[in-house]
Structure 1
Amino acid sequence: MKTSISSVALLLATVSLSPAHAADAPQVAPPADAAAANEADAAAIIVTATRSAVNRDQVASSVTVLDKAAIDRAQDMGVTELLLRTPGVSISRNGGYGTATSLRIRGAETDQTVVVIDGVKLNDPSSTGGGFNFANLLTGDAARIEVLRGPQSILWGSQAIGGVVNIVTPGPQKDLEGSFDLEAGSRRTASARAAIGGKQGPLRWRLGGQSFTTDGISAIAPSAGGREKDGYTNRNIQGRVELDLAEGVTADLRSYYSRGHVDIDGFAGDSQEFSLNKEFVGYAGLKVDLMGGRFRNRIGYGYTDTDRDNFNPTLARTKTFDAAGKNKRIEYQGSFAFTDGITALFGVENENSRFRSVSPSASLAVPIPAPARGKAEITSVYGQLSVVPVTGLTLTGGLRHDDHSRFGGKTLFAAGGAWALPTGTIVRASYAEGFKAPSLYQLFSEYGNTALNPEQAHGWEAGVEQRFLDDRISIGGSYFERKTTDQIIYSSCSTTSTNPLCFTPGTTTRRFGYYANVARAKAHGIEAAASARPIEGLVIDGNYTWTVAEDRSVGTANFGRWLPRRPRNMANGSFSYDWGFGLTTGAAVRWSGHSFDNASNATRLDGYTLVDLRGEFALSPALKLFARAENVFDKSYMTASRYGTLGRSIYAGVRGRF
């Protein structure tokens, strides 16, 4: 442990502690703009994960903003790899690219994070926790990624107990523009992405697509007997159109579709099994600005459709799993600027979710059972008031009421403030409550329990950030705490158990387990962050997170034990240097302390340190060559017991913008 602490101390002494958030954040049209008389300064860092475009210095919660420059500089293929470089974020993955990926913010469950693309909330009602699987989310056409940490249920509703990940794609800035990225590397990995868009009078449009393929690694680690490679292919396309119908009236259409194919291994080891995942997201909206932009309105309809199927070609009945989830969301959001310093944000939402799931027997002699089905409806009303009583001080407070078709009404509260002082000091503090209804899978699947109660949480944080030398140096930190009650866990059943929940409801058929509200959890910790540009061309950044996430279920054997797959200590550091003749080089270090794979803490996952190198050379302002080496020292490690991770990998490519 002394060695680990010394390593962290050395890392923090040589790098800064904040993910890159350059001041030249791209200007985009968020789905709901802030109704403020004074526009944010063009050079400021704008945050839209708050459901309104506000200056980062006015946000009461901890937020990280990765702009396009930071995304390109990191060169990561997947969004999860980018997010891992930010404070408070950990992941676990069941193998290489495309396999089941769980992302946790500040020790919260993976299904307690809301994922948003261009204002459209993503989730899969047929997944275990009703959350989003990050496995198929590639960096693609992202222009900015925001991570808002801590409970955010006032604005984003159920699931936002851990935080919000907001991905923003670019809006066109020219009459005609385009971009492309081509790269290839280890394990016959190849990625090709292209996008084109433009502005013609009242019309703004953009269309992009990507193809990614890799031979991969064995999902089961070699140390656990894995030998064959499990490949992955992902193809996606997305588009958006905005049309000004009249002054202050804009129609907005967006769509996203992806199809992923990944080879997977069975619990016993190598197999020929594979999984197909298809995701469709559609959105249609109308934005109406009144009173010179002081009163802004948005009406929208969002639709998500996720279809997941598993196959085993060696079985008589090849399809082993079939699940589908659909979401239909109708929403209204408005904002009204009473004065330059008082703004109200408010809205109404109605969401209908459905799921279907079935696991057919491998034998053709056994009829396919009727699929488990379920549906739920939730209607929500929310409001938030933002007040600037004195220069630099922003106070916010909000309420949300959710009316769930199965669990009735629940009202939540949040409040906070951010104070930007003339000394370059920013002080933040906030309190927020969270609420998450059981997922349809947890209620109605073959392991379901219709007697479940919703998960509830409340948390607070306080932090300080100090900037020096015209913002060329920044250092800060925050303390956070969150308590969760009625947390839902999966409980296994023995073959001799007499517990009624160990039998399929209404039958005498045994089942492997069930979901239950038996857990209480608590998480608290510290996030430290800093960044520096000490000389022209040099960018140094990094972060350190200490998170204590524990099971606090009184009277149980696991009381006081670490929640699974959550390291207590994590740190990142990176630097890049522009040599002035088109060449930029850099390196990144990621360190994770040990964690445990299971609730009893019987299986330990060792800590690890990974080093990446990267370089870029500009052939012209519009065309750049790039290359990187990941896990340079070929470190063997696990984020989930028995599952493999990528060893040393080398990639190179070309990037164009015109």
Structure 2
Amino acid sequence: MQVLAGKPVPELTSALNMSDLSRRLVRPSRPVCVSVHQAPPLSPRRVALACATVLIGAATVPARAAEALDPVIISATRVPQRISQAIADVSVFSREDLDRRATGNVADLLRSAAGFEISRNGGPGGITSCFVRGAESRFVAVLIDGVRVDSQSTGGAPWEALPLSQIDRIEVVRGGVGAIYGSDALGGVVQIFTRKGEPGLAFDFGAGLGNNGLRKLDARVSGRSGEFDYALGVAGERAGGFSAITNPANSSYSADDDGYQNRGGSARLGWQLSPTQRVEAGLTSAHSNSQYDGYPAGVDHHAFHNFSSADLNWSAQWLPEWRSQVTLGQSVDQYKTRPSAYDTRTRIRTATWLNTLSLGEHTVSATLERREDQLDNSGVLDGRAGRAQNALAVGDQWHHGALALQAHVRQDHDSEFGGHTTGLLGAAYELAPGWRVRASAGNSFRAPTLYQRFSEYGKAGLSAEQGFNVEAGLNWREGVNHAGLTVYRNRVRDLIVYESVTGTSPCASLYGCYNNVGVARLQGLTLEGGTELGAVRLSGSIDALSPRNADASSANNGKLLTRRARRHASLKADTDLGDWTLGAQVLASGTRYDNAANTATRRLAGYTVLNLDAQWRFARDWRLEARVDNLFDQAYESAQYYSVQQRQLYVGLRWSPRI
């Protein structure tokens, strides 16, 4: 388990809003995480050795008087628990972690988490994929304040459209948890919590500049008065960018820079109706305009992304042992390109009723959930397609002394392809003070997207993609020191892939269609931990994985899956020097391939990048922020033919008065 935030946590008490409980019990700390990849001047092997030194050091440095960093999380089971009690493999990013990132989007932050890799077609506004333990984007369920975010055209969340500015905290769960979240959660879950009001009145204003024409502005106000609390914020970021494709021989090459503009905002209002009931409403929106290099060359291509998420939440503590929560939500993801005319829009509506009952050593949960998906896309027959899913889930967590057990089962019924049952079993045992062993097994699924079923290239008879995940871990924690080892194996079958027409084909299109033909095996291990050496805080993670095609009938059987490395790691160090906070981060990755056949001409070299950041609190409520990404200006590719951000400089000023 990876903890990027925390403070000694008091005993849990009943609370009406569990995400609020988590925020109140955890005081953000400074970021202590990174990711690993390969290239001069630092090789992945050297970075891995440095990470291992940190992790071994965590076991040898004496614990300080402070209690273990142990924040409260929600996403592992949908029920609040300390991170040390979770059987799942979990990471937490605090508000301060997000503030230190300064610019970019959610994917830029998550690449520093254990198990995460990203690939991007060009700059920050380019299409972005996140891989969790080798599982691709569509196998990661993403929620914002409990509302599902997904694309019913490509599948997966629009990572490039999720800005950091309005986010309070991010929780990451690795591994298949379909029995808790239903469709999409084969590889894990990322849950995003937006900012909320706190007692008093607080303002936050920030402005910054960087090279490549980078400019950023944001403003927020939040507070609590009586039974009401509120948080409002707006933000904007733009940059002149750089050329996404730099090879003149490429048919999409254009010599111009490909810039981007992002703007967005959020609002959250809360009302404590009584000591036992609370209502919340929230809205998050983001809009971007990104240039890209496309075909035909020489044309100014633009991609427009409009995203919004809204939720209405009511919670009640009927009895000290019984709590209910109802959440209504809607997310809209619209993507279009010009002058090439492509338009797609996904709308997802969800209704969730969660009941939690504490019975001695047992915590029992029951969930009723409905999800409605709608896709508007010119490639879909009749221009629109839709479906509904109804689900019932039950779970039980049992703690008895050093032993913890959990069991979950969920039944989803899809209006298009029928029912699907998922289950999860987990166990953990405290071997000795601070030492804990854990294991879990469960199956998950991903329903075909509406585009895969109902477009001109679709097949209405497609089955759900299915995964079965088994993992085991060993964790150690003493004071500020912690370390963990997780081994896992996730087998995914009925993978949906696009097949071109060859000979006799069942496809309606003359060009090809989607079919359930693939099998993948995602297995590996993650070693992570953190410690303090004097005044320096250290954290790191190493991932060694084998994400391979496991389809015996395929010519690519045994080959690495596209754009996934076998080794990646992270290392982070920071310290306080008076009014200064200084940090350094290394991200490294091994070689990958940009095609399924792993041909030599499609090999992507490994790389290593070094990032630096600093904060200077030069006056009350004032802070100067500076960041350098890719200090040594390493040139590398996360997607073939697409360049990445080289050295990026940023300097900002922030004023955060409280009244």
Deviation (angstroms), 1:498: 3.8
Deviation per CA, 1:552-599, whole angstroms, max 9, x where unpaired?
A: 1112101111110111100111111211x2012221111100001111
Match of 2:190 in 1: 165
Q: How far apart are 1:419 and its partner, in Å?
A: 3.4
TM superposition shift of 1:657: 2.7
Match of 2:398 in 1: 387
Paired residues of 1:64 and 1:86 also in contact (CA < 8 A): yes
Read off the aligned partner of 2:580 and give its amino acid letter.
L
Q: Distance in 2 between matches of 1:163 and 1:455?
A: 15
Shift of 1:637: 0.6
Alignment-derived partner of residue 128 in structure 1: 154
Q: Which residue of the partner structure matches residue 459 of structure 1?
A: 469
2:73 aligned with 1:47, yes or no?
yes
For residues 333 and 379 of structure 1, the distance between their equivalents in structure 2, rounded to whole angstroms, comes to 14
Secondary structure of the structure 2 residue equivalent to 1:171: coil
Residue by residue, what CA displacement relative to the aligned partner does 1:179-206 show, whole Å, maximum 9, x if unpaired? 2332210111112122111111111111
Shift of 1:76: 4.8
- Alignment pair present for 1:558 and 2:556: yes
Q: Deviations over 1:531-571 (max 9, x none)?
A: 111213x1111111011011111121011111101111001
**Superposed CA RMSD:** 2.2
Q: Which residue of 2 aligns with 1:507?
A: none
Structure 2 matches for 1:291-330, cutoff 5 A?
291-292=319-320, 294-312=321-339, 320-330=341-351
1:447 partner amino acid: Y
- TM-score scaled by length of structure 2: 0.88
**Alpha-carbon distance between aligned partners in 1 of 2:507 and 2:394, rounded to the nearest angstrom:** 43
Instruction: Specify the alignment match of 2:414 in structure 1.
Output: 404
Aligned position for 2:515: 516
Instruction: List gaps (5 residues or longer) in structure 1.
Output: 20-40, 313-318, 360-368, 505-509
Kindly indicate whether the alpha-carbon contact (under 8 Å) linking 2:44 and 2:590 is maintained by their aligned counterparts in 1.
no
Alignment of 1:3-402 (within 5 A): 4=43, 6-16=45-55, 44-50=70-76, 51-125=78-152, 127-129=153-155, 131-222=156-247, 224=250, 225-267=253-295, 269-292=297-320, 294-312=321-339, 320-339=341-360, 341-358=361-378, 372-390=383-401, 392-402=402-412
CA distance in structure 1 between the aligned counterparts of 2:608 and 2:291, rounded to whole angstroms: 27
**Following the alignment from structure 2 to structure 1, what is the Cα–Cα distance between the partners of residues 102 and 335?**
29
> 2: CA distance between counterparts of 1:180 and 1:528?
38
Q: Equivalents in 1 of 2:406, 2:619: separation in Å?
A: 46
Change (3 A) 1:270 1:514: farther
User: C-alpha separation between the residues in 2 aligned to 1:152 and 1:63?
Assistant: 12
Cα deviation, residue 322, structure 1: 1.4
Partner secondary structure for residue 441 of structure 1: helix
Q: Which residue of 2 aligns with 1:573?
A: 571
Distance of 2:246 and 2:72 partners within structure 1: 42
Q: Provide the rounded CA distance (Å) in 2 between the counterparts of 1:5 and 1:246.
A: 55
Letter matched to residue 475 of structure 2: E
- Aligned partners of 2:195 and 2:68: how far apart in 1? 16
Is 2:195–2:268's contact at 8 Å kept on the other side of the alignment?
Answer: no
Partner of 1:32 in structure 2? none
Q: Which amino acid aligns with 1:578?
A: D
Amino acid at match of 1:330: A
Residue 444 of structure 1 corresponds to 454
Q: CA deviation at 1:4?
A: 4.8
Maintained 8 Å contact 1:306/1:325: yes
Match of 1:155, SS state, is helix
Distance in 1 between residues matched to 2:382 and 2:518, nearest whole Å = 29
Q: Distance in 2 between matches of 1:638 and 1:419?
A: 43
Letter in 2 for 1:246: S
Q: Percent identity at matched positions?
A: 28
Moved more, 206-215 or 10-19: 10-19
- Please give the per-residue CA displacement for 1:346-388, whole angstroms capped at 9, x wherever unaligned: 11111111112116xxxxxxxxx97542111110000110111
Which amino acid letter does the alignment assign opposite residue 558 of structure 2? Answer: G
Residue 499 of structure 2 corresponds to: 491
Asked whether the 8 Å contact 2:145–2:311 carries over to 1, the reply is no
* TM superposition outliers: structure 1 runs of 4+ over 6 Å: none
Q: Quick one: distance in 2 between partners of 1:148 and 1:620? A: 38
Relative to structure 1, is the Cα distance of residues 143 and 161 closer, same or farther in structure 2, using a 3 angstrom cutoff?
same
User: How far off its partner does 1:43 sit?
Assistant: 6.7
1: distance between equivalents of 2:300 and 2:571?
A: 39
Equivalent residues of 1:567, 1:595 under 8 A apart: yes
Aligned partners of 1:489, 1:80: CA distance in 2, in Å? 24
Q: Secondary structure of the residue that 2:167 maps to in structure 1? A: coil
2:482 maps to what in 1? 474
Could you tell me whether the CA contact under 8 Å between 2:427 and 2:438 is conserved in 1? yes
How far off its partner does 1:329 sit? Answer: 1.3
Q: Distance in 2 between matches of 1:13 and 1:545?
A: 11
Verify the 8 A CA contact 2:215 2:237 in the aligned structure 1.
Answer: yes
Partner Cα distance (1:522, 1:560) in 2: 9
C-alpha spacing 1:371/1:637, structure 2 compared with 1 (3 Å): farther
Counterparts of 2:613 and 2:561, CA distance in 1: 34
Question: Relative to 1, partners in 2 of residues 1:17 and 1:559: Cα closer, same or farther, differing over 3 Å?
Answer: farther
Q: Distance in 2 between matches of 1:124 and 1:17?
A: 42
Structure 1 residue 492 displacement after superposition = 3.0
In structure 1, give the amino acid aligned to 2:269: V
Q: CA deviation at 1:178?
A: 2.3
Counterpart-to-counterpart distance in 2, 1:193 and 1:17: 41
Distance 1:17 1:300, change over 3 A: farther
Q: Which is further off, 588-597 or 411-420?
A: 411-420
**For residue 532 of structure 2, what is the amino acid of its counterpart?**
R
In the alignment, the residues of structure 1 paired with residue 205 and residue 485 of structure 2 have an alpha-carbon distance, to the nearest angstrom, of: 37
Provide TM-score, normalisation by structure 1: 0.88
Counterparts of 1:448 and 1:618, CA distance in 2: 56
Q: Which residue of 2 aligns with 1:635?
A: 634
Shift of 1:13: 4.5
The 1-side partners of 2:607 and 2:56 are apart by 19
Alpha-carbon separation, structure 1, partners of 2:563 and 2:642: 13
* CA distance in structure 2 between the aligned counterparts of 1:573 and 1:175, rounded to whole angstroms: 37
C-alpha distance in 1 between matches for 2:197 and 2:57: 29
Which of the numbers 399, 402, 414 marks the counterpart of 2:424?
414
Name the SS for the 1:343 alignment partner.
strand
User: For 1:188, what is the secondary structure of its paired residue?
Assistant: coil
Q: CA deviation at 1:150?
A: 0.4
Q: Which amino acid aligns with 2:480?
A: R
Code of the residue aligned with 2:344 in structure 1: it is A
